[in-house]
A = this chain, B = another copy of it.
Amino acid sequence: MSVKSNFRCVTCTAPVNIAVIKYWGKTDEKRILPTNPSLSVTLGQDELRAKTSVAVSSSFSEDRMWLNGIEQSVSSPRIQNVLKEIRRRAHKRKSGDSKDDIGLTQHVHIVSENNFPTAAGLASSAAGYACLVFALGKLFGVHGEISDIARQGSGSACRSLYGGYVLWKMGSKEDGSDSHAVQVQPETHWPQMRSLILVVSDQKKHVGSTEGMQTTVQTSELMEKRIKLVDKRTEEITQAIKERDFPTFAKITMQESNQLHAVCLDTYPPIFYMTDTSRLIVRLVHAINDISGKVKVAYTFDAGPNACLYLLEEDVPHVLALVRHFFPPSKNMTDSSFVTGLKLDEIKPSSADIAQINIPISEGAVKYVIHTKVGPGPQVLTDPEGSLFTREGKPKLRSSS
């Protein structure tokens, strides 16, 4: 890990996670304690990941950070919370001279980038904070549970510290120490599970999720009821995952997504994340399930118009063919760039299916599709070529993607 004597560097990657039981609302804004448990699926890092290099050096005169090629202030309370807490835990473990060995007395430089467009609205902050905390943990030798530290950077980041199916336990302690993530099933548990992320064309500015969930907690009359319903739903979907019961998993996922957006709409002023295209995707998914005579695909939407579809490997060609039929790529896009990620043999949609689905064809409404699967938690990169620092300890700055 060390490139030169007084420069120590660790590079890690961390995954995106997409919740099937949603996090929306805090009981403690400062500690980031949620109003309810949430449960997510960790996605494959080949398609979607944050990569972060963290380094300490006696030559660094201050903490600094570069995100997607652009230097950012480290003064935000969330970054500061993460840095303070990881250093505090490292200090507890080390004594005397060894603090110098691991660079605890030195300043840290952070370089981070995503392998997907930040603008796509794909929960990049969750992957980013998870990666930062994981990398700092490796750099400073902090072992054990660190998802509670990631939680203080961005709530849902705690779930990106594990692969597979991950529960963020609410916890009950006031200091938040028991509000952290646990893996409920590993990524190997249900090998057939796939995801298609439909990135929707959209220029609009959205209400940020931090502000949005705060307003929902303050103004939605239905939110209180929703919070009461989440525990049961979480238990049911955990059981469905355990039993690999796709129809139950899918139905709960869809109901939960809709209920999240229902409380957003019940907020004053109302918050909208789904667009006409999102709603057409919802109609398409229900239509596919109807004509299939079983629930073979589910949608879920976060704080933006993109859809994350969950489905089994065997159903990907059928579903993708219909997605492509009803949301064909715009003419200025090459066909091959419309579906990215895991390779598959695409098929043509059947005319019988098309005849039964009564929704308009919306060219260009879906910008592209990311085909991915369930993946593992954060990884340490051992190849020094993967570092985002040069051998001289300078950030490798690429243009922002």
Q: What residues of chain A have their CB less than 8 Å away from a CB belonging to chain B?
A: 205, 221-222, 224-226, 229, 251, 254-255, 258-259, 261-263, 265-270, 272, 275-276, 279, 282, 286, 358
Chain B residues with CB under 8 Å of A269's CB are 254, 282, 286
Please indicate which of the listed interface residues A254, A261, A265, A272 has the most CB atoms of chain B within 10 Å of its own CB: A265
Q: A221 vs B263: C-alpha distance in the bound complex, in angstroms?
A: 12
Chain copies in the assembled complex: 2
Q: A266 vs B260: C-alpha distance in the bound complex, in angstroms?
A: 8
Q: A224 vs B226: C-alpha distance in the bound complex, in angstroms?
A: 11
Q: Indicate if the CB atoms of B270 and A266 lie closer than 8 Å.
A: no
Chain B residues with CB under 8 Å of A224's CB are 225
Minimum distance in angstroms from A249 CB to a CB of chain B: 15
Other A-B contacts than A224-B225, A254-B268, A262-B262, 10 sampled, CB-CB below 8 A, are A222-B222, A222-B262, A251-B268, A254-B269, A255-B266, A259-B266, A262-B266, A265-B265, A272-B282, A275-B276
Chain B residues with CB under 8 Å of A222's CB are 222, 225-226, 259, 262-263
Chain B residues with CB under 8 Å of A272's CB are 279, 282
Chain B residues with CB under 8 Å of A282's CB are 269-270, 272
Q: A301 vs B281: C-alpha distance in the bound complex, in angstroms?
A: 23
Smallest Cβ-Cβ distance to A277: which chain B residue? B276
Please indicate which of the listed interface residues A226, A266, A275 has the most CB atoms of chain B within 10 Å of its own CB: A266
Smallest Cβ-Cβ distance to A279: which chain B residue? B272
Q: Which of B258, B267, B275, B276 contacts A270 (CB 8 A)?
A: B258
Minimum distance in angstroms from A261 CB to a CB of chain B: 6
Chain B residues with CB under 8 Å of A254's CB are 268-269
Q: Which of B225, B275, B358 contacts A225 (CB 8 A)?
A: B225
Smallest Cβ-Cβ distance to A289: which chain B residue? B269
Smallest Cβ-Cβ distance to A226: which chain B residue? B222
Q: A282 vs B270: C-alpha distance in the bound complex, in angstroms?
A: 8
